[in-house]
Amino acid sequence: MAHNIAALGGDGIGPEVVREGLKVLAAVAETAGFEYQVEEYPYGTDHYLETGVILPDGMMDTFRKDFEAILLGAIGDPRVEVGLIERGIIGAIRWDLDLYVNLRPIKLYHERFCPLKDKTPADVDMVFVRENTEDAYAGMHGFVHKGSPLEVSTQTMVYTREGVERVIRYAFEIAKDRERKQITMIDKANAVRAQDLWTRTFAEVGEEYPDIKQDHAYVDAACMWMVKNPEWFDVAVTTNLFGDIITDLGAMVQGGMGIAASGNIRPGEVSMFESIHGSAPKYKDQNKANPIATIAAVQMMLDHLGEKDGARMLDTALMNLLSGDRIKSMSAGAHGTDELGDMVVKEVHRLGE
Ligand code: IPM
Ligand code: MN
């Protein structure tokens, strides 16, 4: 049966990088031999400014009923209130579809892309599992006496036993399938005592996985280790906000925002795949944006769709391309957006020969 995929280009460079992602998807489908259909949606800031609609009523039901995956470009535009469209599209999709895992692999394809001295691909190969529905992102916040000297502003870090347990369990399952079988929990339970729930849940779930090496780091120290000894990490599981922050650091360690991808996952149900980078409005429509991160998100999407051969093929294609010397730099403008997409397509076709 053909896979049904929804594509949302979104803002800034989003539509361009999604176009390249879909181009690569077509090449992989042809080579690996599977069928799919893509429905493209126009939502984003332009659409909102024209119509007043961020996502139409019923859109979540459509995603849930008609699609297996959503490929998202990027969201963010300085013409509207900070965070409005991000919350209304990325946030809404994560929360309303309960995509509780934010999976962010951090893998270095070639040492010349790593800003850390003497670190090689053998040192940078980890998977971050970021909780994706709770914490400061749960939406419990407010202002009292707004604008006055007496103003009070709060935002609550919300953790539920169920929310913590399911994401920790997911991370253990990933660790189980990896060679090193090691998991690190990253939190700040020494200062944020609410995270004691994470400490206890990690210990309890961990008892079910005696073969997995279990480790802990406070988030401040984890940032230090990520730079000093990235080879210490295999699978790491952490809260929503810390996961947001530390995976930008991870993105730089693996070669920059041009390469870092993520999956917003609810196992077995519709899930959303995107790059970690933003919409970079200054590069919009200039054919300068690097689409590799979105292409890597397509690779994660294939895995979710159960197209394991296609996913492996695309991973190998990216590895072959990035480990060679054809890519001058991962930075915007170093290559054309379409040029990079074409290079990946060529590698995919080569694997099919
Ligand atoms: C990310 C982004 C989002 C987040 C923004 C756009 C709301 O930074 O996916 O990492 O904070 O989760
Ligand atoms: Mn982020």
Q: Strand, helix or coil at 94? A: helix
By percentage, how much of the chain surpasses pLDDT 70? 100
Report whether residue 297 contacts ligand 1, using a CB cutoff of 6 Å.
no
By percentage, how much of the chain surpasses pLDDT 90? 97
Look at residue 34 and tell me whether its pLDDT is greater than 90. Answer: yes
Segment 263-277 shows an average pLDDT of: 97
Report whether residue 90 contacts ligand 1, using a CB cutoff of 6 Å.
yes
Residue 1: the pLDDT is 79
Look at residue 49 and tell me whether its pLDDT is greater than 90. Answer: yes
Is residue 30 within 8 A of residue 23, CB to CB? The reply is: no
Report whether residue 276 contacts ligand 1, using a CB cutoff of 6 Å.
yes
Between 159-168, 174-183, 214-223, 321-330, the lowest mean confidence (pLDDT) is in 321-330
Higher pLDDT residue, 353 or 195? 195
Residues 6+ positions from 55 with CB-CB distance below 8 Å: 43, 88, 89, 92
Is residue 144 within 8 A of residue 164, CB to CB? The reply is: no
Name the residue at shortest CA distance from atom 12 of ligand 1: 244
Measured from the Cα of 94, ligand 1's closest atom is 12
Residues 6+ positions from 242 with CB-CB distance below 8 Å: 130, 186, 187, 188, 219
Segment 72-81 shows an average pLDDT of: 97
pTM of the model: 0.96
Instruction: State the ligand closest to the CA atom of 82.
Output: 1
Over the chain, what is the mean pLDDT? 97
Segment 78-103 shows an average pLDDT of: 97
Report whether residue 13 contacts ligand 1, using a CB cutoff of 6 Å.
no
Is residue 347 within 8 A of residue 341, CB to CB? The reply is: no
Q: Please give the distance, rounded to the nearest whole angstrom, from the Cα atom of residue 248 to the centre of ligand 2.
A: 6
Look at residue 105 and tell me whether its pLDDT is greater than 90. Answer: yes
Q: Please give the distance, rounded to the nearest whole angstrom, from the Cα atom of residue 244 to the centre of ligand 1.
A: 6
Measured from the Cα of 76, ligand 1's closest atom is 6
Question: Would you please indicate which residues are annotated as catalytic (active-site) residues?
Answer: 137, 188, 220, 244, 248
Measured from the Cα of 274, ligand 1's closest atom is 9
Look at residue 50 and tell me whether its pLDDT is greater than 90. Answer: yes
Between 13-27, 119-133, 185-199, 326-340, the lowest mean confidence (pLDDT) is in 326-340
Segment 211-222 shows an average pLDDT of: 98
Measured from the Cα of 278, ligand 1's closest atom is 6
Report whether residue 11 contacts ligand 1, using a CB cutoff of 6 Å.
no
CA angle 94–276–36, rounded 5-degree value: 65
Q: Strand, helix or coil at 151? A: coil
Look at residue 164 and tell me whether its pLDDT is greater than 90. Answer: yes
Residue 260: the pLDDT is 95
Name the residue at shortest CA distance from atom 7 of ligand 1: 86
Instruction: State the ligand closest to the CA atom of 137.
Output: 1
Name the residue at shortest CA distance from atom 8 of ligand 1: 244
Q: Please give the distance, rounded to the nearest whole angstrom, from the Cα atom of residue 348 to the centre of ligand 1.
A: 30
| Residue 333 pLDDT level (bands cut at 50, 70, 90) | very high
Residue 248: the pLDDT is 96
